[in-house]
Every structure is written in structure tokens, then in C-alpha cells.
Structure 1
Amino acid sequence: MDLKSLKQFQHLASTLHFSKTSEAMFVSPPTLTRSIMRLEEECGAQLFVRNNRNVALTKAGKKLLAFAETTLANFHQLQLDIGHQKDVLSGELAIFCSVTAAQTYLPNVLDSMRAEYPSVDIKLDTGDHAIALAKITTLEANRADAAIAIHTPDFPSNIHFQAIDSVPLTLIVPAQMDVSVVEDIEWNKTDVIMPARGPSKRIVNHWFAEHNIRPRVYAQVSGNEAIVSMVALGLGIGFVPRIVLKNSTAKDKVLSISVGDIESYKLGLCYLKERANEALIQALASLFSVRS
């Protein structure tokens, strides 16, 4: 008993007219008749009472009609379920960002991703902001599909930047240092912990140049978290994003001094423009849009 024959039988049971059903089902009247006869053979009973003027369902025909309606409805639901499964996103999505960005921006986004797209596996890699863009442009196996990165004046034209936050920088000094405003700093007598690379290096160097200050560099380090740790140890002072300080375990060992004229970070979700139409990328970007 095949579904095609059941569909023809169901239609004929509603019209009780062989010509109308054969026309609607795109089969010839003889073909429809043979199909009904096969069903009668399979059921071992007559399904219709036919004469020159009327067609009517028998008791067996009414029972088969109930079976046909249930079977065809169940099959239609199965098709919908399978079609839905085809549309469900799946696969792996690799995201790179700093530890601080992961703590600040990802929890709600990843919770939503797990709820809406449970078949998507998230692979999170953390590290220095300075290598974020390299992570999404590299061809190596450990590449990222998307990254949270800082916008810069020389931002690559092949990378899409979706802004998610503007992050101010703050000057931090050891807690025991007797200063409360930036004007109290004696720069020629104070060691400075400088960023070794990345966008923060440009911003901090630009601020020093604008104020005609030649910093007495004690060390250049990679990562804002490392700057906080070194300042907490009393090895110097330095500039870090406020969100880094907020999430640092050493924040109680330093003082934050506001500097109003230093450039803020423009932080955003980044991915290659050529991948913008990929379903996983679009899903992630959409969730960040809701968040912002």
C-alpha cells in the first residue's frame, strides 16, 4: 500500500467522482480505477459501491479512509519535521577574543547561541587583542571564524567590523602611590609599563606625544592584564582599558586615575567580508546586534 494510492483514494472518497479525481490527481480514469482495485485487493474488501449513476463508500472504505487520513497527516508532519531539521544550524564556530572580552561580552551571547542553535559547537580561544585580526585572516588550522577586536585607523578593508562597545582607557598606579589626578604624575621620575604591541600601543604613544612626554619605560609587555599585574607589584604605572581593570583580580592593589583626553577603544565583532553570508556568521552577528 503506497502513499500515492492512499492520496488518490482519499481524494476519491471526498469527490465520489472518478473523473474529477483523475483530473485533479493527474492520472487517467483507467489508472485511477486500477489503483483503487489494488487497494481493494490489499484490504480484501470492496471500498466503493459503484453503479452507472453513483459512487459510495462501503463500511470497509470508511475504515480505510480514517486510516488514510491519519497516515497522510502523519507523513506530512514527518516531512515538516525533517525539513525543519535541514534548516537547523549545525557545525563548529570558532571565536577569538581576550579573556576580558570573553568575560564581558560573551556570556549572554553564548547562552542565546546555545538556546537558539543547540547543534552549533562553540570553540572559544582567548589571547592578546593584538593578534585578533590575524586569527581570522590566517589559513592555519587554528584560525577563528570571528573575533572581538579593536578598530584602528589602518583597519583591513577585507574585514567587517560590527561595533559592540566604546571602551575608555584609564591610568593605573600602585595603590601606595600618593597621586589622585594625572597632573600629579612626575613623568621624568616615574617608570611606565608600556604595551608591547597592538592598538593600545598606538593610543598610548599618541597620548604621550600630544602631551610632549617622553615616558621612562620600565618594560613593554603583551596583554593589558599583564600591565595591571605589574602595576599592582609597584613596578610602574600604565594605561589599560577600564573593562580590563574591572575584571582584574589585582584591581584592589591599584588606583585608577581618569584621563579625559585619551582615545577610547572601538571594540567590535570582526569577520572576513567574504564570509558575511555564511549562516553561522550571520547568526552570531545577529545575536551581537541584539546585545548592543
Structure 2
Amino acid sequence: MDIHELQLFIHLAGTLHFAKTSREMNISPSALSRSIRRLEDECGKVLFLRDNRTVTITEEGKAFEKFAKQVIDSHRNLMNQFRKSEEELSGLIRIYASVTASYTILADILKKFRQKYPRVRIELQTGSASGAIEQVQNGKVDITIAAKPNIFPDSLAFLPLIETPLYFIAPRHPGSVYETVSKQPINWEGTPFILPDKGVSRHMMNAWFHHMHITPEIYASVSGNEAIIAMVALGFGVGIVPKLVIDKSPMKEDIITITSAPKMQPYTVGICTSKRLLASPAVQSFREVSRTLYAV
């Protein structure tokens, strides 16, 4: 089986969308379809069910996805071990992080890592912090900077780096939301919320709403802490974001922290990777550099 075709299969298993996979993997839709058919012919099984509208992975496809990820990981580890015998470590590390994590935590790590291992290539993808762990689980990246959820997947390894508290925030400038949170006690059920669409802080807020018997007025569910700060600054509602993000936000002068709000459990932010990749010399070295810079 061809390594590239296995990579195409894994990507398609994550997107379940031929057009998206062909675009992101730089391959024509017809060539992608031929690659998938070759894999199905080799397996003697149907790996995807597709019609004009939807693509669904079969049970055989799910089993093959697990196999394909193991092969890709083993191939990458083998190539890295071969390169390790050379004078300098080389290879590729695919990293996913939020914009804030990229220019705070990750920037320091990459600076030292590049000085020590200049021949290791880095591919960096940025996106919402709430989707970080899924990127590693789906095999799209090797490493992500993420907040550790209460329920952490057994297949992943987590290296804690820092802790950052979570703050309730409101718009600084007068308006209906500012007036609402200025009155004590705060009427939380009458306060519009800007919440993350998923992730650790969304789970925390849902648990808090349940504990306080609050039926929240959710103005918007958005992707990314930066988007929450922007909408709060514009007066659409209140939100909850990590202090790390507030400190680095260009809009921090347009928001205030709600000092009378309840204290939430702080985030533990760290490096998340698949346990299968812990044998990779490049991943090992990246984790070691990170450990020397940060410690919880």
C-alpha cells in the first residue's frame, strides 16, 4: 500500500468530504476517487459509502483507518530514527494551536527548538482552541497546544506547561450589558452570554449553569476565545476566557473583568500528542524543549 494513499484515506475519514480532501491535499477529485478505489480493491472491502450528497465511513473503513494511522506513525517514526543517525535531528512536526497560543507559549518553544534542531521542519496550523484535541485524535497533526479537559482520551499523552485562570468579562463602555452586570447581585438569567461553541470552557459553563439552576440567555456560540473578546467588547454580552488570552488581546482595553463573578477552575494548558508518537525522536525533542521552558 502506498503511504500517500493512506494519508489521503485518513484525511477523507476525517472530513467525509471528497471535495474538501482533494482541495486540502492538493489532488484532483478524480485522482482521489481512484486512490480510494485502489485501497478498497486491495482490502476487498467497501471503506466508504457515498452518494451524490453524503460520504459515510463503514465499519471496515473505521478498522482500516486505525490500521492506516498505525502505518503512517510507524513510517514517520522509522524515517525519524534513520535521520537521527545523522549529525542532526531532522524530520517533520505538524502542530496545531490557537492564534493566542501561537504567539505566546508556542513562540518561545519554537524559537529554542529551531535553534537546537534547525533541520526539523515545522508545519503550523492555527484555529479555534476548542478543536485542538480533535486535530490530534483525527491524525491531522502530531502536536497541539491545548487545555486539558476533565475527561482526557486514553490514546493521548499530555505534558502540562502552564495554568491560567478563567475570567468572566463584560464590555467596558456603557450599554445594556454594562448596566446589567453593574447591578448587584447580577441577574445572570437576564444577562446575554457569548459562549464557545465547544471545548473545556463550554463544558465548565454548562456545568455552572446546571449547578446554579440558570437557564442562560445565549446570544451567540462562537469559535475561538478571540472572537468571544471581540463580541463582548462590542457590547453583545458577557463571556468567559482565559487570562492568557485577555493579556495578549488587542481589545483588552475595551473589556473589564467581572470581579463579583464566581471563580472558575483554572485551565491547565499543555502539549497534547498521540501516545503512538512518543517514540518519535522529533516529538520527543519537542516535548523536552517545552519541558525546559515551562513547568506546572
Question: Scaled by the length of structure 2, what TM-score is found?
Answer: 0.65
Q: Does 1:278 align with 2:280?
A: yes
> What is the CA distance between 1:224 and its match in structure 2?
1.1
Superposed, 1:31-180 pairs within 5 Å as 86-139=86-139, 143-176=140-173, 177-178=178-179
Query: Is the contact between residue 157 and residue 272 of structure 2 (CA under 8 Å) also seen in structure 1?
Result: yes
Superposed, 1:185-224 pairs within 5 Å as 185-224=186-225
Superposed, 1:234-245 pairs within 5 Å as 234-245=235-246
Q: Higher mean Cα deviation, 250-259 or 177-186? A: 177-186
Letter aligned with residue 117 of structure 2: Y
SS at match of 2:141: coil
Q: Distance in 1 between matches of 2:270 and 2:184?
A: 32
- The superposition leaves residues 38-64 of structure 1 with CA deviations (integer Å, 9 ceiling, x where unpaired) of xxxxxxxxxxxxxxxxxxxxxxxxxxx
Query: Is the contact between residue 94 and residue 143 of structure 2 (CA under 8 Å) also seen in structure 1?
Result: yes
Question: Using a 3 Å threshold, how does the CA distance of structure 1 residues 122 and 257 change in structure 2: closer, same or farther?
Answer: same
Q: Distance in 1 between matches of 2:168 and 2:128?
A: 20
Query: Is the contact between residue 84 and residue 281 of structure 2 (CA under 8 Å) also seen in structure 1?
Result: no
Letter aligned with residue 268 of structure 1: G
Look up the match of 1:38. Answer: none
- The superposition leaves residues 222-272 of structure 1 with CA deviations (integer Å, 9 ceiling, x where unpaired) of 111111111111111111111111111111111112445311112110111
Structure 1 residue ranges, 4+ long, deviating more than 3 angstroms after superposition: 178-184
Look up the match of 1:7. Answer: none
> What is the CA distance between 1:110 and its match in structure 2?
0.8
Query: Is the contact between residue 158 and residue 272 of structure 1 (CA under 8 Å) also seen in structure 2?
Result: yes
Q: Distance in 2 between matches of 1:207 and 1:284?
A: 36
Count of aligned positions: 207
Q: Distance in 2 between matches of 1:260 and 1:235?
A: 21
Structure with max Cα Rg: 1
Q: Distance in 1 between matches of 2:132 and 2:108?
A: 21
> What is the CA distance between 1:154 and its match in structure 2?
1.9
Question: Using a 3 Å threshold, how does the CA distance of structure 1 residues 84 and 274 change in structure 2: closer, same or farther?
Answer: closer
Q: Distance in 2 between matches of 1:261 and 1:249?
A: 24
Q: Specify every segment of 5 or more residues in structure 1 that has no aligned partner in the other structure, as ranges.
A: 1-82
Identity of aligned residues (%): 33
Q: Distance in 2 between matches of 1:84 and 1:204?
A: 46
Q: Does 1:267 align with 2:264?
A: no
Query: Is the contact between residue 182 and residue 257 of structure 1 (CA under 8 Å) also seen in structure 2?
Result: no
Q: Distance in 2 between matches of 1:86 and 1:157?
A: 34
Question: Using a 3 Å threshold, how does the CA distance of structure 1 residues 191 and 270 change in structure 2: closer, same or farther?
Answer: same
Query: Is the contact between residue 180 and residue 187 of structure 2 (CA under 8 Å) also seen in structure 1?
Result: no
Q: Distance in 1 between matches of 2:241 and 2:167?
A: 6
Letter aligned with residue 133 of structure 2: L
Indicate the RMSD between aligned Cα atoms, in angstroms. 2.1
Q: Higher mean Cα deviation, 174-183 or 197-206? A: 174-183
Q: Distance in 2 between matches of 1:264 and 1:135?
A: 23
Look up the match of 2:8. Answer: none
SS at match of 1:276: helix
Letter aligned with residue 127 of structure 1: G
SS at match of 1:234: coil
> What is the CA distance between 1:178 and its match in structure 2?
4.7
Query: Is the contact between residue 132 and residue 148 of structure 1 (CA under 8 Å) also seen in structure 2?
Result: yes
> What is the CA distance between 1:108 and its match in structure 2?
1.7
Q: Higher mean Cα deviation, 150-159 or 255-264? A: 255-264
Q: Distance in 1 between matches of 2:167 and 2:181?
A: 13
> What is the CA distance between 1:285 and its match in structure 2?
0.3
Q: Specify every segment of 5 or more residues in structure 2 that has no aligned partner in the other structure, as ranges.
A: 1-82
Letter aligned with residue 249 of structure 2: S
